[in-house]
């Protein structure tokens, strides 16, 4: 059994968001995501086949959902459940520090 730290091996610069699978089975995938000022490209939306539970561990982010007028600001400790096919996008992540997320994608049956 090996242990690891979610805040270890943080890159100093990222050309694109870093997504690292931590656990993957046929029914779930747990990822560590590291952002430094990364956003979803203009005009693009995530539309996933599975529900996703996400928690922000450090940094800051703003998510926008297609069916909501106001975006949702996230601070460390904030979490939310994104239903399957709920179109959303990342509008902002802190450009001055690492924004670290855990994202759990799972079968919703």
List, for residues 81-99, the tens digit of each pLDDT value.
999 999 999 999 999 999 9
Containing 28, the helix (H) or strand (E) segment is strand 28-35
- pLDDT given for residue 28 in this prediction: 96
pTM here is 0.91
Tens digits of residue pLDDT in 23-72 = 999 999 999 999 999 999 999 999 999 999 999 999 999 999 999 999 99
The per-residue pLDDT for 2 is 77
Q: Provide the 10 A C-beta neighbour count for residue 33.
A: 20
Distance in angstroms (rounded) separating the CA atoms of residues 48 and 94: 24
Residue with the larger pLDDT of the pair 100 and 16: 100
Residues ≥6 apart with Cβ < 8 Å to 89: 39, 40, 44, 45, 46, 63, 64
pLDDT value at 6 more than 80: yes
Domains, the chain, in order of start with CATH, read 18-106 (2.60.120.10)
What is the pLDDT, as a whole number, of residue 11? 85
Q: Is the predicted pLDDT of residue 3 greater than 90, yes or no? A: no
| pLDDT value at 108 more than 80 | no
Q: What is the DSSP string of 57-105?
A: EES-EEEEETT-SS-EEE-TT-EEEE-TT--EEEEEE-TTS-EEEEEEE
């Amino acid at each position: 059994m090996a242990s690891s730290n979610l805040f270890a091996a943080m890159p100093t610069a990222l050309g694109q968001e870093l997504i690292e699978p931590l656990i993957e089975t046929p029914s779930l995938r747990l990822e560590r995501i590291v952002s430094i000022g990364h956003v979803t490209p203009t005009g693009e939306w995530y539309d996933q086949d599975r529900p996703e539970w996400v928690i922000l561990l450090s940094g800051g982010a703003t998510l926008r959902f297609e069916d909501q007028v106001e975006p949702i600001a996230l601070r460390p400790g904030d979490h939310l459940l994104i239903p399957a096919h709920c179109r959303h996008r990342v509008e902002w992540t802190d450009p001055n520090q690492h924004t670290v997320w855990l994202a759990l994608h799972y079968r919703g049956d």
